[in-house]
Structure 1
Amino acid sequence: MLQAREGTCNWKANAASGMAVHDDCKLRFLELKAKRTHRFIVFKIEEKQKQVVVEKVGEPTQNYDDFTASLPVDECRYAVYDFDFVTAENCQKSRIFFIAWSPDTSRVRSKMIYASSKDRFKRELDGIQVELQATDPTEMGLDVIKSRAN
């Protein structure tokens, strides 16, 4: 019985870590975090290559509406957004959000792949401060971002 359990655990670990992360993902994230050369990054899983790649990079001048407009309506994505805000004490601050975008209208297989690869991918991006899971735009509206930033 114990043998079967161990086999199951190994299978799950391998299944969950089956997605490679393209070096460009880490490089772009470091640029966003350290140099602030990007406002946001949208990542896509290339199922055929079994890896996460950079799909779109937002300029520092782009805003939250530009970011949300860059997410597909019916396909899953990972994204990071560098959110600038002013605290109640009038201090300029920034938070890096990790958003797992999984719209209800996306394919079940796609949702499963993104869900099972999320934690491993997120660990590759050192410096995430806030995580959001969103299935429709209201779950990641600017009001939600503002409330989670503090």
Structure 2
Amino acid sequence: MASGVEVEDQVKDLFNEMKVHKNNDDDQKRPRVVVFDIDDGKIRVKEILRQEDLKGDDEDVFKVLKTRCGEKCCCYVLYDCHYELKETGKREDLIFFSWTPSNAGIRQNMVYASSREALKKIFTGVKHFLELHETCELSADHLASEMGKDICSMEGHEQQRRH
């Protein structure tokens, strides 16, 4: 916690909710995308999008990510990614990324970069920690390549075969 920023308890509780799937859980009520920001020296939940929220115009999770990650504001995102591997079928992994666009101020970028470790310590079991800076990186193709797996489909987007 080099920046002195604290993580609110709600962030920890929400992470635990996303990490543990119970058989009797309603899939529509499960959090899929959670946006965090830093406000008043604390990392806080800014927005929770559940599966039921990703209907209609917001059905494409990558469009949602692009609208939530502003061109001039930093944030963190915890994303329950659904994808398919050719060999083993459907999978889900939590992806954590820090969004620090080049258009954001230097001070804001520095605070978010130095506070990221506080979340990484809490988000145990997350396999993919990414740093994203450009809108083009908020895509199925980019995330699939960053995950380093032979992904054939991500959130309904067919992936190009990589060699």
- TM-score above 0.5, yes or no: yes
Of 38, 51, 74 in structure 2, the residue corresponding to residue 45 of structure 1 is 38
Question: How many angstroms does 1:80 deviate by?
Answer: 0.9
1:106 to 104, 107, 121: 104
Unpaired segments ≥5 residues, structure 1: 1-13
For residues 21-43 of structure 1, what are the alpha-carbon distances to aligned partners after superposition, in whole Å with 9 as ceiling and x for unaligned? 00001111111221361111100
Change (3 A) 1:64 1:34: farther
Asked if the contact 1:29–1:41 (Cα under 8 Å) also holds between the matched residues in 2, the reply is no
Question: Which residue identity does 2:33 align to in structure 1?
Answer: F
Which residue, 56, 64, 72 being the options, matches 2:62? 64
Instruction: Give, in whole Å, the separation in 2 of the partners of 1:41 and 1:126.
Output: 16
> Are 2:93 and 1:95 aligned?
yes
Alpha-carbon distance between aligned partners in 2 of 1:144 and 1:17, rounded to the nearest angstrom: 29
- Identity across matched positions, percent: 25
Secondary structure at the residue paired with 1:39? strand
RMSD of aligned residue pairs (Cα, Å)? 1.7
Match of 2:134 in 1: 136
Runs of 4+ residues deviating >6 angstroms? none
State whether structure 2 residue 6 is matched by structure 1 residue 20: yes
Q: In proportion to residue count, which structure has more helix?
A: 1
1:146 corresponds in structure 2 to: 144
Q: Residue type of the partner of 2:5?
A: M
Structure showing the higher strand proportion among its residues: 2
Aligned to 1:81: 79
Structure 2 stretches of 5 or more lacking a match?
22-26, 55-60, 150-163
CA distance in 2, matches of 1:40, 1:65: 12
Which residue type is aligned with residue 26 of structure 1? K
Alignment: residue pair count: 134
Q: Deviations over 1:27-81 (max 9, x none)?
A: 11111221361111100001xx311000011112422322332122210101111
2:45 to 40, 49, 54: 54
Q: Distance in 2 between matches of 1:64 and 1:57?
A: 15
